[in-house]
């Protein structure tokens, strides 16, 4: 007889969550921080951490109301975790009194916060008594109201004066689970029927995109292991068709996917063309993921661990017909899926990343044949990583022509119950696309 598994105490999850939040505050990515959490705690901690990051601006403002002088970092993180989880009744994952009691228990059991347990208890008991007044006192703080850093808000207000509110609202909603149908193996219509038979509600989007009504584990998706579908945001699914459009029909183009991990766009390219694809990735661990994803899809590419900006180390001298440059960026357009990013990034990162993007764009342009196409894209909202970058490139490269391109795609998020207009694109992340063609000599 199997012994029934004991439920995981909430105090353990809170301690682990505060550790993850603290790690991001110190510069670690949320993904890396969650990966260091014990396996049994990881799913619950990730869910709690995502909730905290979506409410961290409010939590930090409330902490300042309760304790103008910040406690030591570990205690501050635990207090902010509790406040982020508790401040909005409708979304609180636990009863408020339970949350307070378990936060204090977490503090007592952690050597880094044990000395502040009484302090945390006093702060949270006061919060219970004065919650409405404390929340109202923070409403005028833009960081608390929008749950984004002040510099991020100001930049969007300047660059998107008519859209910044909607962009920030969309960023705090949960992203949908969007699938890309492998058209080599099935069709969107056929796969929608398979989902219906499996009891999974979904709607068709543009091209091969399907949006699930609610997320499910990939193990529940019909034919996932056989490569019938992949999980990929609707905006990211635009890359492969954009790059391939206009290439000679029936040709087998030579294509470079310059920053390929984890392989979603590589796979999509190979689903749509019989061309030869070279996929580069600078990180060996992420290179492995490309191979794993292609194996599941039953597709083949030449996958190389290399720095795309140093072609002398990997290029054989053959010019490419098409190049996909999904450049490193702030990832400001995908904060629905990675809500830690807004707290991880610093405004100075934009200029640093724009410099990397500029060097990669200039370098790879020299590897493109005359008449060939390069698709530059980033999952960023900011002009410096999108239109500004491309305008500068066009000014200095007179052999480049900007073809019709989506440009900046602001994140689109559909609230529950909202009616989607006819012919509207799927719910998607923020992206930028510029399709460039090299003039014939």
How many angstroms separate the CA atoms of 84 and 89, rounded?
Answer: 11
pLDDT grade for 425, boundaries at 50, 70 and 90:
low
User: If you average pLDDT over residues 361-385, what whole number do you get?
Assistant: 97
CATH number for region 247-438:
3.40.50.150
Nearest CA among 356, 363, 379 for reference residue 323: 363
In the chain, list all ranges with CATH 3.30.70.1170: 176-232
Q: Which listed residue (123, 377, 379, 426) is catalytic?
A: 379
User: If you average pLDDT over residues 417-433, what whole number do you get?
Assistant: 64
Three-class secondary structure of residue 398 per DSSP: coil
pLDDT in tens, 161-172: 999 999 999 999
How many angstroms separate the CA atoms of 433 and 376, rounded?
Answer: 6
Annotated catalytic residue 379: yes
Domain 10-147 homologous superfamily, CATH: NusB-like (1.10.940.10)
In the chain, list all ranges with CATH 3.40.50.150: 247-438
In the chain, list all ranges with CATH 1.10.940.10: 10-147
Q: Does residue 419 register a pLDDT over 80?
A: no
User: If you average pLDDT over residues 229-242, what whole number do you get?
Assistant: 96
pLDDT of 5 reads 61
Q: How many CB atoms lie within 10 A of CB 12?
A: 19
Q: Which of 102-111, 182-191, 201-210, 408-417 has the lowest mean pLDDT?
A: 408-417
Strand order in the sheet with 302-305: 302-305, 276-281, 254-257, 320-326, 368-378, 431-438, 400-409
Alpha-carbon separation of residue 397 from 165, 319, 327, 393 (angstroms)? 36, 18, 19, 6
pTM, 2 dp: 0.92
pLDDT of 416 reads 47
Q: Does residue 412 register a pLDDT over 90?
A: no
The proportion of the chain whose per-residue pLDDT surpasses 90, expressed as a percent, equals: 89
How many angstroms separate the CA atoms of 291 and 301, rounded?
Answer: 8
Please say whether the beta carbons of 206 and 336 come within 8 A: no
CATH number for region 176-232:
3.30.70.1170
pLDDT in tens, 117-170: 999 999 999 999 999 999 999 999 999 999 999 999 999 999 999 999 999 999
DSSP secondary structure string, 57-70?
A: HHHHHHHHHH-SS-
Nearest CA among 345, 358, 371 for reference residue 436: 371
Q: Biggest alpha carbon distance in the chain?
A: 77
């Amino acid at each position: 007889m199997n012994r029934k598994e004991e439920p995981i105490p909430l105090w353990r999850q809170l301690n682990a969550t505060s550790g993850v939040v603290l790690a991001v505050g110190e510069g670690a990515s949320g993904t890396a921080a969650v990966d260091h959490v014990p396996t049994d705690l990881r799913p619950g901690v990730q869910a709690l951490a995502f909730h905290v990051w979506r409410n961290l601006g409010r939590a930090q403002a409330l902490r300042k109301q309760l304790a103008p002088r910040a406690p030591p970092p570990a205690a501050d993180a635990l207090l902010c975790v509790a406040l982020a989880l508790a401040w909005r009744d409708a979304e609180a994952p636990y009863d408020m009194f339970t949350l307070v009691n378990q936060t204090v228990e977490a503090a007592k059991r952690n050597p880094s916060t044990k000395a502040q347990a009484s302090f945390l208890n006093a702060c949270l008991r006061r919060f219970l008594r004065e919650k409405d007044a404390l929340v109202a006192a923070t409403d005028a703080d833009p960081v608390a109201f929008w749950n984004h850093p002040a510099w991020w808000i100001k930049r969007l207000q300047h660059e998107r004066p008519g859209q910044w509110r909607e962009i920030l609202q969309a960023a705090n909603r949960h992203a949908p689970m969007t699938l890309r149908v492998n058209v080599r193996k099935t069709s969107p219509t056929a796969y929608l029927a398979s989902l219906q038979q499996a009891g999974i509600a979904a709607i068709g989007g543009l091209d091969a995109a399907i949006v699930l009504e609610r997320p499910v584990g990939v193990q529940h998706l019909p034919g996932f292991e056989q490569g019938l579908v992949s999980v990929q945001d609707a905006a990211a699914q635009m890359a492969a068709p954009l790059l391939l459009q206009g290439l000679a029909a029936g040709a087998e183009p030579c294509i470079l996917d310059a920053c390929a991990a984890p392989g979603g766009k590589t796979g999509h390219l190979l689903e749509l063309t019989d061309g030869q694809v070279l996929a580069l990735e600078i990180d060996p661990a992420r290179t492995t993921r490309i191979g794993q994803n292609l194996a599941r899809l039953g597709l083949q590419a030449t996958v190389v661990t290399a720095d795309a900006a140093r072609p002398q180390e990997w290029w054989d001298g053959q010019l490419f017909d098409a190049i996909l440059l999904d450049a490193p960026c702030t990832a400001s357009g995908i904060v629905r899926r990675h809500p830690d990013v807004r707290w991880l990034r610093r405004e100075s990162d934009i200029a640093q990343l724009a410099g990397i993007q500029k060097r990669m764009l200039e370098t790879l342009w020299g590897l493109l044949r005359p008449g060939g196409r390069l698709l530059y894209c980033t999952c960023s909202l900011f002009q410096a990583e999108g239109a500004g970058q491309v305008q500068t490139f066009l000014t200095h490269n007179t052999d480049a022509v900007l073809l019709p391109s989506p440009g900046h795609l602001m994140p689109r998020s559909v609230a529950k119950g909202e009616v989607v207009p006819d012919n509207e694109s799927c719910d998607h992340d923020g992206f930028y696309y510029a399709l460039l063609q090299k003039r014939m000599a």
